[in-house]
Amino acid sequence: MTSHQPTNSPARHPIGIAHGVTFDVVAWGPAMAEVDLSVACMFEHEVGDAPIAGGLLALDQALGGQLTRLRRGGAFQAQPMETLLITTPPAGMAPRAVLVIGLGEPGLLTSDVLRRATRVAMREAIRHGARTMAFAPSVLDAGHTDNAALDMPEVMLDGMLGALAAEFLLAETGLATRPLLQHCTFDVGAPRVESAALAFAAAFARLHDAK
């Protein structure tokens, strides 16, 4: 599986390196992420049943509306940790594959649900043989705006780093091959990218200092 970076790719804001995997923040959405596996999250429905917006809307549009159509028809209900893997995205999409992870009922979103979603994302990226991945929580795109109590940067990094460490431990036992992953990016909206990068970098430092 190959990966490449276009000459006009957006600026990367570094977070840290763990197990040889570089973590950073980039202002792009899941449909535009130039990676082997682009991961987005989705609730069973949007807050107040409003239409989706932002990066999740762009992803659905790039998929010809199939994402919301599959959810509406019940083929993908977006229940907690339910996954939908798109291995042949339409021509013109940046990612080589797309994974959608269900977050369940938006009113029941907790830090634990978000942490579990990032663990699933990391494990599925490694199972997929991805060298590069991107993760978009997509909670704002669904109208879930009251997220201060979730401590999202630290929770998402905690899930990612924990799953990554477990995969390397498994490889060391000889029961699995060593992960190919080299790069993990968190998708952030352009207006928030610099502040998000600072928050992620601080969370990364705290998590490493705690070990």
Q: Tell me: the pLDDT tens digits for 141-181?
A: 888 877 777 889 999 999 999 999 999 999 999 999 999 99
Q: What is the pLDDT of residue 140?
A: 85
Handedness of CA 97, 5, 154, 141 (dihedral sign): negative
pLDDT in tens, 101-151: 999 999 999 999 999 999 999 999 999 999 999 999 988 888 887 777 788
In a domain, 7, yes or no: no
pLDDT of 189 over the 90 cut: no
Handedness of CA 11, 15, 17, 19 (dihedral sign): negative
Here the CATH number for the domain that contains residue 126 is: 3.40.220.10
In a domain, 102, yes or no: yes
Q: How far apart are alpha carbons 37 and 34 in whole angstroms?
A: 9
Range of the domain at 163: 12-209
Q: How far apart are alpha carbons 190 and 147 in whole angstroms?
A: 18
Number of domains in the chain: 1
In a domain, 86, yes or no: yes
Q: Which of 79, 97, 80, 76 lies closest to 88 in space, CA to CA? A: 97
In a domain, 143, yes or no: yes
Rg (CA), the chain: 16
| % of the chain residues with pLDDT over 90 | 81
Taking the mean position of all CA atoms in its chain, how far away is CA 59? Answer: 13
In a domain, 53, yes or no: yes
Q: Model pTM?
A: 0.92
- State which H helix or E strand residue 188 sits in: none
Average pLDDT over residues 56-84: 97
Q: What is the pLDDT of residue 7?
A: 46
In a domain, 99, yes or no: yes
In a domain, 83, yes or no: yes
Q: What is the pLDDT of residue 201?
A: 96
- List, in sequence order, every beta strand (DSSP E) within the chain: 12-18, 21-26, 37-43, 83-86, 98-104, 132-136, 183-187
In a domain, 33, yes or no: yes
Across the chain, what does the average pLDDT equal? 92
